[in-house]
Amino acid sequence: MKTEDTKLYNKFDDLIVVGGGSAGWMTATNLIRKFPNKKITLVESPNIATVGVGESTIGGISNWLASLGMNTEENIKEFMKETDGTIKLSIRFEDFYEKGDGGFHYPFGSVIENNLTYGKQNWFFKRYENSNLHNSDYATFINTNMALVNNNTIFTNSNNELPGFDFTKGVAYHFDATKFGLWLRDYYCKPRNVKHIVEDITDIETDSEGIKSLNKKYTADLFFDCTGFKSMLMNELNNNFISYNDLLPNNSAWATRVPYKNKEEQLEPYTNCTAIENGWVWNIPSWERIGTGYVYSDKYVSDGIALEEFKKHLSKKGHDYSQSQFKNIKMRVGRYEKLFYKNVCAIGLSAGFIEPLESNGLLSVHEFLLYLVDVMTRHKANDSITQFDIDSYNVSCSKFFDEFTDFVALHYALSNRDDTKYWKDVSERQYIKYAKSGDLIKNISVRYDLDAENDYYSSYAGAHYISTGMNFYSKTPFNLMSFNADTTQIRIENKVRDIMVKEWDNIAKKQPKLINYLKDNIHRISPTYYW
């Protein structure tokens, strides 16, 4: 006799996605690709605008595109053309550690350690022996993508001239969120018979199983809540919401779009994040315009004053915002205790949100969708999903949210700024006390344990770029020598590495400028309209 936990109780033939935008159409795309014979419907309101004014992704988006068959140079170029896309190789953080700190990068792609005995540790020894090195030099020493970032160039690397760089995998993208949703709708969903209904949901009927009907006429076996911060379906189910406000400071944002003033200079292969008085500003260069926004806490500054701070920053950076419309966004920072609850699965902002730092908005969408279709296809013979599948999904996704929250919190915890009350309070937060997962901050905090098997850099991808960029690493000869290393060998390795870094730089210099590559290979004809 089967236990309740393994009972095949959710047979699904009829699936409804509620909400459009990036999350809704990404969900519908994944479902129709995995279940081409199922009835799949997307219902979206004609009166609710999507949040995004531009999207910045990180490297995992390549895996999601590949799951759709978008894994060649040509179809990636087609995707970029349709979505106003540009290449993103890194995230730059400016003034997070100290005001005027010069900034540092978190690049994507593979870390190259082929000529180093101790890998990342070689740089620490190099930094110890040369105090003139800046912490921002670390990324260039470790990652070949930085050669392209530093020269603002790009190429397909078809002959592997630049080791570690893969045009189809080691990159992310900036694109127009609205166009992205429309591309998924028209390119993937409608041709595969996803039913599209434009209608306000005004009535939600529930029962013991979850959602019974929408507007007393739409029923389904499973519902997918992609309604943003409103969480229209989840809110009807009394699912517990877990706040992250005790760990993360920000809850509001101003967002807008500005035109390029000098596209040759302003179109860069990275997202720029600049810390200012009461938060930070993102800068996302898509092909036709720049998406920008100010993330802040309304506990420290009013919305009106925050808008003035934002405009002051835009003016300082040379942006013309005279024709721009500014949208105020109130962010619900946290997650539901169960992201898949009864017959509803929340995706995107409906499920939870950390904050925009580290471009995690779409990250949770494409990562959760890949796992979701895995658990939904485990019982291929009977098209069912068990309670164990649902519980497994919830545990994995909750762990992702909690760990990434700790990771984002590091950007504030390691700051040395004290120029405003906001930054003073940020530096005094009890991060370890309120850490959600515990693992990341615990491992980062034992920074003097630098042996190869238990080094703090292994705790989370990208943490080593953030901690090193914010001056958090071992600087004493005792700790650097804790491996019983041959210092002569390390010096030789570092000299070889310096030669390699110069070679990478020379290769990058010979490649086309990013703007020219995009213009010649992707965006051959610029639209005449302004978004």
Q: What is the pLDDT of residue 453?
A: 38
216/7: higher pLDDT: 216
Q: Sheet of 279-285: strands edge to edge?
A: 104-107, 90-94, 270-276, 279-285, 290-296, 252-258, 327-330
Q: How many residues does the chain have?
A: 531
Instruction: Write the pLDDT tens digit of every residue in 271-295.
Output: 999 999 999 999 999 999 999 999 9
Instruction: Write the pLDDT tens digit of every residue in 156-190.
Output: 998 999 988 988 887 899 999 889 999 999 999 99
**Confidence band, pLDDT 50/70/90 cuts, at residue 459:** very low
CATH topology of domain 252-330: Alpha-Beta Plaits (3.30.70)
Q: What is the pLDDT of residue 4?
A: 45
Average pLDDT over residues 405-431: 91
Average pLDDT over residues 199-214: 95
Q: What is the pLDDT of residue 444?
A: 56
**Confidence band, pLDDT 50/70/90 cuts, at residue 421:** very high
What string of DSSP letters covers 163-216? TT--TTTS-EEEE-HHHHHHHIIIIIIGGGT-EEEE-----EEEETTEEEEETT
The Cα 220–Cα 518 span in angstroms is: 43
What string of DSSP letters covers 488-528? HHHHHHHHHHHHHHHHHHHHHHTSPBHHHHHHHHT--S--S
* β-bridge pairing 252-258 and 327-330: antiparallel
**Confidence band, pLDDT 50/70/90 cuts, at residue 478:** low
Mapped onto helix, strand or coil, the DSSP state of residue 25 is helix
For residue 65, give every residue at least 6 positions away whose Cβ sits within 8 Å of its Cβ, in sequence order, or none: 71, 76, 79
Q: What is the pLDDT of residue 448?
A: 38
The closest of 310, 305, 307, 271 to 94, measured between CA atoms, is 271
Average pLDDT over residues 426-449: 66
Average pLDDT over residues 414-440: 84
Instruction: Write the pLDDT tens digit of every residue in 336-385.
Output: 999 999 999 999 999 999 999 988 888 889 999 999 999 998 887 667 88
Tokens of 341: 């609850």
Instruction: Write the pLDDT tens digit of every residue in 235-248.
Output: 999 899 999 998 89
Tokens of 452: 């190869």
Which of 38-52, 128-142, 367-381, 490-504 has the highest average model confidence (pLDDT)?
Answer: 490-504
Residue 3 has pLDDT above 50, yes or no: no
Q: What is the pLDDT of residue 476?
A: 65
The Cα 69–Cα 426 span in angstroms is: 43
Average pLDDT over residues 390-401: 93
Instruction: Write the pLDDT tens digit of every residue in 217-273.
Output: 999 999 999 999 999 999 999 899 999 998 899 999 999 999 999 999 999 999 999
Task: Judge contact between 295 and 253, C-beta under 8 A.
Answer: yes
Among the residue ranges 56-65, 160-169, 433-442, the one predicted with the least confidence is 433-442
Q: What is the pLDDT of residue 452?
A: 37
Mapped onto helix, strand or coil, the DSSP state of residue 340 is strand
Share of the chain above pLDDT 70, in %: 89
CA angle (427 as vertex; 421, 429 as ends), nearest 5: 100
The three-state (H, E, C) secondary structure of 62-79, written as one string: HHHHHHCCCCCHHHHHHH
Q: What is the pLDDT of residue 480?
A: 59
Q: What is the pLDDT of residue 429?
A: 86
What string of DSSP letters covers 448-476? T---TTS-GGGSSTTHHHHHHHTT-S--S
Instruction: Write the pLDDT tens digit of every residue in 122-158.
Output: 888 888 888 888 888 999 999 999 999 999 999 999 8
CATH of domain 4-54+176-243+332-406: 3.50.50.60
Tokens of 193: 């018979």
Tokens of 379: 């019982």
What residue ranges do the domains of the chain occupy? Answer: 4-54+176-243+332-406, 103-145+408-510, 252-330
Task: Judge contact between 145 and 522, C-beta under 8 A.
Answer: no
**Confidence band, pLDDT 50/70/90 cuts, at residue 327:** very high
Q: Which residues does residue 107 pair with via DSSP β-bridges, in sequence order?
A: 90
DSSP H helices in 261-360? 263-266, 303-316
